[in-house]
Structure 1
Amino acid sequence: MTEDPDVVSRRIARESLDRDDPTGWFENLYAAAADGDAVVPWDRGTAHQLLTDWINEAEPDGTGKTALVVGAGTGWDAELVVDRGYDTTGFDISPSAIETAHRNHPDSKAHYLVADLFAPPADWHRAFDLVVEIYTVQALPIALQPQAIKQVTELVAPGGTLLVIAAARADDVPDEQVQGPPWPLTRAAIQSFTGPDLHLIQLDQSPSPADPSVLRWRAEYLRD
């Protein structure tokens, strides 16, 4: 395949958005990738570096704890989390992504399943000691991001940690100027993950190694 993966993903997303199906493009992209007709731009074949850095710095012990990876894709981030001892679930709205995760990690201790962030299982409500959200909210149109952010926060258990990794956008860049996907998150969007009992305890911004002009958030939150 010679076409730019970002161009392919945007075209697939636009086709889905034109059908008023803002989340359907994930399955279309992963299915095309499985057939060799596309490349998932964010599928790195390894865990995200900022997640790896956080794991190395925080050294979390997941023994006896649960973790959830939002939009787990082909499973690399969930594999890193499960290696820390967490009883780890990775979910994605795309069946093709989950099928690929099972193929990539046939002996995994993680649980991979198809689920919708906007309609998660009822028993996931504030159920996880660690929730990891990497690039899922930013892959949704800006109008859907507040609802997605709320859904993510409601997965974090009392005393639990939420880790969010996303591309950064300046607050003074108007929504209409952002031609996604992705639709990077403003500082205000990052702060909107907080609530009366969910507190932002660390926020870092760093350049992408692939393109220093692209900045990324790494935000850590703690629920009372």
Structure 2
Amino acid sequence: MSSESVEPDPEVETRRLANESLRQDDPTGWFERLYSAASDGAAVVPWDRGAAHPLLTSWIESAAPAGEGRRALVVGAGTGWDAELVADQGFSTTAFDISPTAIETARHNHPDSKVEYEVADLLNPPADWQRAFDLVVEIYTVQALPIALQPEATKRVSEFVAAGGTLVVIAAARDDNTPDNAIEGPPWPLTRAAIEAFTTPDLHLIDLDRSPSPNDPTLYRWRAEYLRD
């Protein structure tokens, strides 16, 4: 009989922590619990790639955004890799996460960073962030919230974008005909209707790409770009 220990499945552990928080009516509390456990070596953050998201990298390579003299906001900073890439483009970059441990880890990972890392709640953000950023990047944060909270989170993300600014959203995709109760999250992937919900009368969807995941071609991801008048 083998005595080797079996590593826990990161996705299973993530769902366990999320479900515990949901049972306690604390739908965002599991983020801190997950990052804290990961910091102690007791869990793995499934989306922590040790590098910026490839779809963000490819967007920057093709769009070549000019960051000098402009402000950027990264939603759900995690351990900081996406924010560092944005800052490398010359943007004055703020990146936030609801998890203090995530922010502490990001600062530790990038000790010479130009990014301003902050602890903040997407559902209750600082008032002076409204329409304050020329580039807003949201990757996998809205989909990590229960479906009932996603409309409010989506609205908050859209409100960060300044006049003339750009919003980039990257998320797991699901078909519009997949019922909400068929999804065992997290994550709770976004339908096309949910992607279109980031738009407002003056924030327009200008590019939408749906591509298979390189790790599992049966799973798809959105990359959406929006522009505010």
- In the alignment, what sits opposite 1:31? 36
Q: Distance in 2 between matches of 1:112 and 1:138?
A: 22
User: Which one of 139, 164, 167 corresponds to residue 144 of structure 2?
Assistant: 139
- In the alignment, what sits opposite 1:206? 211
Residue 53 in structure 1 maps to residue 72 in structure 2: no
Q: Distance in 2 between matches of 1:123 and 1:61?
A: 23
Give the CA deviation at 1:135.
Answer: 0.1
- In the alignment, what sits opposite 2:21? 16
User: Which one of 168, 172, 186 corresponds to residue 163 of structure 1?
Assistant: 168
After superposition, residues 102-181 of structure 1 pair within 5 angstroms as: 102-181=107-186
AA matched with 1:196: P
Q: Distance in 2 between matches of 1:29 and 1:218?
A: 26
Task: Name the count of aligned residue pairs.
Answer: 224
AA matched with 1:34: S
AA matched with 2:51: T
After superposition, residues 53-72 of structure 1 pair within 5 angstroms as: 53-72=58-77
Q: Distance in 2 between matches of 1:213 and 1:72?
A: 27
Give the CA deviation at 1:21.
Answer: 0.2
Give the CA deviation at 1:184.
Answer: 0.1
User: Which one of 197, 200, 205 corresponds to residue 195 of structure 1?
Assistant: 200
What is the DSSP-based 3-state SS (H/G/I as helix, E as strand, rest coil) of the residue aligned with 1:30?
Answer: helix
Q: Distance in 2 between matches of 1:129 and 1:192?
A: 20
AA matched with 1:74: T
- In the alignment, what sits opposite 2:106? 101
After TM superposition, where is structure 1 displaced by more than 4 Å over at least 4 residues in a row? none
Task: Give CA deviations for 1:59-97 in whole Å, capped at 9, x if unaligned.
Answer: 111000000000010000000000000000010000000
Larger radius of gyration: 2
- In the alignment, what sits opposite 1:2? 7
Task: Give CA deviations for 1:128-168 in whole Å, capped at 9, x if unaligned.
Answer: 00000000000000000000000000000000000000000
Give the CA deviation at 1:185.
Answer: 0.1
Task: Give CA deviations for 1:17-65 in whole Å, capped at 9, x if unaligned.
Answer: 0000000000000000000000000000000000000000001110000
Q: Distance in 1 between matches of 2:25 and 2:204?
A: 34
Q: Distance in 1 between matches of 2:143 and 2:127?
A: 24
Give the CA deviation at 1:102.
Answer: 0.5
Gaps of 5+ in 1: none
- In the alignment, what sits opposite 1:85? 90
Q: Pairwise CA RMSD of aligned residues?
A: 0.6
AA matched with 1:92: D
Q: Distance in 2 between matches of 1:3 and 1:205?
A: 30
- In the alignment, what sits opposite 2:3? none
